Amino acid sequence: MGVGVPAHAVGLVGHTARALGRAMRRPVRWRVLGRGGATGRALLKEFIAPAPPLDADVFVVILGVNDTLGFSSPAQWIGSLDAILESLRRRSRGAPIVLAAVPPMQHFPALPSPLRQVLGFRAYVLDRAAIAWAGARDAVAHVPHAYAEHAEIPEIFCSDGFHPSSLGYERWGAALAAAAAALLSA
């Protein structure tokens, strides 16, 4: 949502909206539903389920780190994704969904070894489940996390070593916007 940078404009939402606007050659209005630290179940319960109808052309769902930290099982993770998809589809007019990959936590500088590797593996397991889940659903695109060379890793994280920097959000947002534009153009 933008933790680690001073404003949404230089966070993931701002970068994604600008990149989508450029790709679609039209203005983009956006709305954020969520909070830092939310799991998939918390997002559904606190923000999506109580929301009125959501007038959106596309949804971008960004989750996974907190489900990884909470050791959600793949079945729990997929259950959350199913419930979110069902709720979004009930509250919208069939807008496509872009699902961001679970970030590769093995690269988070703030995490000490071997915790970094353990959480990286857990994130990988949840993301593999999300890939299969998205592939079995209509109008859902899973977007791999923006790749970074090992030497660039410090630059794509903010000073806390856990959240992305503006550059990290920019790269991630560009990938999400490209997937959203493809779904909207289809």
Per-residue pLDDT tens over the stretch 119-137: 999 999 999 999 999 999 9
Q: Where are the beta strands (DSSP E) in 5-143?
A: 59-61, 97-100, 140-143
Domain interval for residue 30: 8-185
Following CA atoms 76, 78, 80, 82 in sequence, which dihedral angle do they give, to the nearest 10 degrees?
-140
At residue 1 the predicted structure's pLDDT band, cuts being 50, 70 and 90, is low
Question: 152-157 — which CB contacts under 8 Å span 24+ positions?
Answer: 153/107, 153/109, 154/109, 157/4, 157/108, 157/109, 157/110
Range from 78-82, 88-92, 102-106, 135-139 carrying the lowest mean pLDDT: 88-92
Q: How many domains does the chain have?
A: 1
Range from 1-5, 17-21, 168-172 carrying the lowest mean pLDDT: 1-5
Q: Is the peptide bond before 114 cis (omega within 30 degrees of 0)?
A: yes
Degrees (nearest 5) of the Cα angle 34, 36, 37? Answer: 110
* Residues linked to residue 164 through DSSP beta bridges, in sequence order: 157
Within-domain flag for 181: yes
Within-domain flag for 91: yes
Taking 90 as the threshold, does the pLDDT of residue 94 lie above it?
Answer: no
- Are 164 and 172 in contact by the 8 Å Cβ rule? The answer is yes
User: What local confidence, expressed as pLDDT, does residue 154 receive?
Assistant: 87
Within-domain flag for 3: no
User: What local confidence, expressed as pLDDT, does residue 146 receive?
Assistant: 76
Within-domain flag for 83: yes
| pLDDT more than 90, % of the chain | 81
Within-domain flag for 1: no
CATH number of the structural domain spanning residue 39: 3.40.50.1110
Within-domain flag for 26: yes
Within-domain flag for 159: yes
Average predicted confidence (pLDDT) for the chain: 94
CA max distance for the chain: 46
Within-domain flag for 21: yes
Closest-CA residue to 162 (of 109, 116, 93, 97): 109
